[in-house]
Structure 1
Amino acid sequence: MNPSHLSGPVLVLGSGLLGASIGLGLRARGIEVFLSDPSPSAQAVAVDIGAGRAFDPAQSLSPQLVVVAAPPDVTAGVVAGALERYRSAVVVDIASVKGAILAELEAMDSLGGDGLSRYVGTHPMAGRERSGPVAARGELFNSMPWVLCPTQHSSAQAVKVAHSLAIDLEAVVFRFSAAEHDAAVALVSHLPQVMASLVASRLQDTPGPALSLAGNGLRDVTRIAASDPALWVQILGANAPKLLEIMQGVRSDLDRLINTLSAPTAPGARLDLAQLMAEGNAGQSRIPGKHGGPAQQYSWLSVLVDDRPGQIALLLTEIGEIGVNVEDLRLDHSAGLQVGMVELSVLPSRRVALVNELTARGWKVLQ
């Protein structure tokens, strides 16, 4: 284990999924962590799983760092309280919106520039579909983006401590202004959530037989629609201006598509549909590839496997013996047979050789 950059102690205000995961990650590095949460049961669970020691607000503590892991709509107030109470501590928040929180803090006369010199807004881009401390993992932030949003008030020391927190949790650090951050997450996080929820909402009254035809495409598009509505109400409300700009562009594209589909055989209609799909291809191709590297196009193939223990492990073992690296993997199941379909992506230059070798070994490859 590499030496820690933080010395501690660290006080985490909020012991949900992210707060408890931060506690677990820091404790694994030997850093002393105290936990405080308005919910006694959430705090007790976080303590029980080893995320830190229970903190009594009546006790005296001089933390090096206070991490505010509170819901976005109360984050500014909790940050302000921490800055006023722990006057030698750096205070960071991990809320998923930054501009609205900063504006609220700057409007507080009690803080002033000196108080805000110890504050840095941050956002770890990590999470799980499950919530609460029972879902916490000390490795949650490993290799995930952690955005620092220092302000004109933030001191160099405060930024250093905030950076140390991310590094100790083995995250990858990025720096954005609050406005840049909110614009970026509106596009890469908030828009996908809204679109997934809108698509999934169409399924509420869909007859069961129709849904039995659903495959990975529908599951991929709607997976994040299972997210916590209460949390997303706060996130979308706080970042509404940035998201609204993007949604207006989406509305223009939808209006264009609706007009074209209203007369699908009219002159130019097919060309417009092809152009719309091509624009999607162009955008998708810009998503970074593995490990944040340049976008990379892969070739896909599907292999049928019996739905019984050990078959996927056997398939991957044999692919390893062949000497081909699997870049991505997805699993689907037949609606009527006890078989699964393993979809594999590989480098295009290795696809033909892999298909031939798997076929020779008795696997049924769908091309």
Structure 2
Amino acid sequence: MIVAAPPESTAEELAAALAHHRQAVVLDIASVKAGVLTDLIRLAEAPDFGLDRADLGRYVGTHPMAGRERSGPVAARGELFTSMPWVICPAEHPHAGRLSTDAAVAWAEEIARRLGASIHRMTPSFHDESVALISHLPQVAASLVASRLQDAPSDALELSGNGLRDVTRIAASDPNLWVQILSGNSAAVLEILYGLREDVQRLIGTLEDPSAAGSQADLAQLIAEGNAGVARIPGKHGAPPRAFSVLTVIVDDKPGQIAAVLNDVAITGVNVEDMRMDHSAGHQVGMVELSVLPGRRDELAQALNEMGWKVVQS
């Protein structure tokens, strides 16, 4: 049985499910794990639900990392979980140790496997620390940046490109859900925000006097630290990150153009490692950015030019 409820009510739903379905393995898919488990143990030890420690052996915390900034049936996709991380967090009692049985954990992993997900096992606390960094911090940063746009002049926003869209995309997420997520994982998020605050204060101090000795070097160091962080993000299929060459194909803003570009790329036999789309401000054209292995860039550019496409190499 899978409990899919907002974080603040997940523990109660789990306790009720364990009490009413005495033979079932019960999973949850909430995006915070340690707090849910703490609340569930507290409920199980209370007399209201009639549960005991053995019942908690049928519970396994899980978190499919396949969320989107949109929600509801219209945002559903059949391949939502394919190749996406699915975290398995066997329940642990702070004093008694492991609670989830091997059979319950195996069934939780089997569900993830049947949906095509990539299985990752970790403790509830390590899970929460991890998602605070790779999920919750980006959400906070996106929302804070996007909030600066509320009163921005329209003329300024017309200059927006993929950089702004990339940074703010997830700011469209559900506020009610994120109130619960951030509240439920506040301790882990706070530790990261304290470090971010130090970096922001350092940047502010440098920009307040950019001509001071060492200011340029400090700005360069700050950007370089970002480069180093980006370089640690896993690359395609979870492999080590690789540097790709990018070429841009200018296409008319009309149906069929992207499909036509990709069809011609397929004819060349060059594999596209990544792709993104942007639109030119003030012109009825689009720009399809294709990332390829550096050794294949010139070959692809020449072939597409010969096929009649306008190609710009970066």
TM range (shorter): over 0.9
Match of 1:92 in 2: 27
Distance 2:221 2:306 in 1: 41
Which of 327, 342, 345 pairs up with 2:273? 327
Distance 2:151 2:40 in 1: 44
Q: Does 1:290 align with 2:230?
A: no
The alignment partner of 2:297 has SS state of helix
Match of 1:205 in 2: 151
Matches within 5 A, 1:209-358: 209-358=155-304
Q: Does 1:76 align with 2:11?
A: yes
Give TM-score scaled by structure 1 length: 0.80
Native 8 Å contact 1:144 1:171 kept in 2 = yes
| Corresponding letter in the other structure for 1:284 | V
State the 1:169 CA deviation.
1.3
Distance 1:262 1:158 in 2: 57
Distance 1:283 1:130 in 2: 27
| Corresponding letter in the other structure for 2:87 | V
Aligned sequence identity (%): 62
The RMSD of aligned alpha carbons is 1.1
Native 8 Å contact 1:106 1:112 kept in 2 = no
Which of 157, 166, 177 pairs up with 2:103? 157
State the 1:105 CA deviation.
1.4
Task: Detail structure 1 runs of 4+ shifted over 4 Å in the superposition.
Answer: none
State the 1:137 CA deviation.
3.1
The alignment partner of 1:129 has SS state of coil
Native 8 Å contact 1:304 1:340 kept in 2 = yes
Native 8 Å contact 2:69 2:171 kept in 1 = no
Which of 124, 128, 131 pairs up with 1:178? 124
Q: Does 1:103 align with 2:38?
A: yes
State the 1:67 CA deviation.
0.4
Count of residue pairs brought into register by the alignment: 302
| Corresponding letter in the other structure for 2:4 | A
Q: Does 1:117 align with 2:57?
A: yes
Native 8 Å contact 2:10 2:28 kept in 1 = yes
Match of 2:95 in 1: none
Give TM-score scaled by structure 2 length: 0.94
The alignment partner of 1:107 has SS state of helix
State the 1:275 CA deviation.
0.6
Distance 2:26 2:131 in 1: 22
| Corresponding letter in the other structure for 2:185 | N
Could you give the per-residue CA deviations for residues 11-66 of structure 1, whole angstroms, max 9, x where no partner exists?
A: xxxxxxxxxxxxxxxxxxxxxxxxxxxxxxxxxxxxxxxxxxxxxxxxxxxxxxx1
| Corresponding letter in the other structure for 2:65 | M
